[in-house]
Amino acid sequence: MKKVITYGVAPIAAVFGLFLTVAPVNAGDINKVYKDTCELCHGVDGKGSEAGKGFGVPDFSSADYQKSRTDAQMKESMTNGTKNPNYVKLSDLGVDAADVDPLIKKVREFSK
C-alpha cells in the first residue's frame, strides 16, 4: 500500500517543481522580484546577506552609500554589470528591463 502512495505523489511533486522553476518572473510585483532574485545577495534588509558581503555588495540601508550613487549610475550597473566580476547584469538573472526602475526605487527605500 505504502509504495502505491509514494509512486503516486512523487511525479506530481516533480512536475510542480519544474513548473516553479520555469515560471517567468512576475513583472508586476517588485517585492516578489526582489525576494526571488536579489535577496540571495542583498538580504531582506538590503544590508547584504553573508554570501553577498563576500561578493562585495553595498549596504543599501546606508545613507552615505545612497548619496554616493545617482539613479542613472545604479541603472548603468544593473543594466551592464560593473567591474566587480561577481556582479552580473540583471538581465542575466532573468530580470525584465521594465523592472529596473521600480527596483531602483525599492533599493532606495532600504535607507528610509
Q: Return d(Cα 66, Cα 52) in angstroms, integer.
A: 18
Q: Which stretch binds ligand HEC (CB under 6 A): 1-9, 14-22, 79-87?
A: 79-87
Q: Which stretch binds ligand HEC (CB under 6 A): 5-13, 15-23, 34-42?
A: 34-42
Contacts of residues 85-90 at CB distance under 8 Å and 24 or more positions apart, as own/partner, are 86/55, 86/56, 87/55, 87/56, 90/37
CA 75 to each of CA 68, 71, 81, 101: distance values in angstroms, whole numbers, following the listed order: 14, 6, 9, 7
Q: Which stretch binds ligand HEC (CB under 6 A): 5-13, 14-22, 88-96?
A: 88-96
Residue 70 as a binder of ligand HEC (CB under 6 A): the answer is no
Q: Among residues 27 and 93, whose Cβ is nearest to ligand HEC?
A: 93
Residue 110 as a binder of ligand HEC (CB under 6 A): the answer is no
Residue 107 as a binder of ligand HEC (CB under 6 A): the answer is yes
CA 1 to each of CA 4, 6, 12: distance values in angstroms, whole numbers, following the listed order: 5, 9, 18
**Which parts of this chain interact with ligand HEC (CB under 6 A)?**
37-38, 40-42, 52, 55-58, 69, 73-74, 77-78, 82-84, 86-87, 90, 93, 95, 103, 107
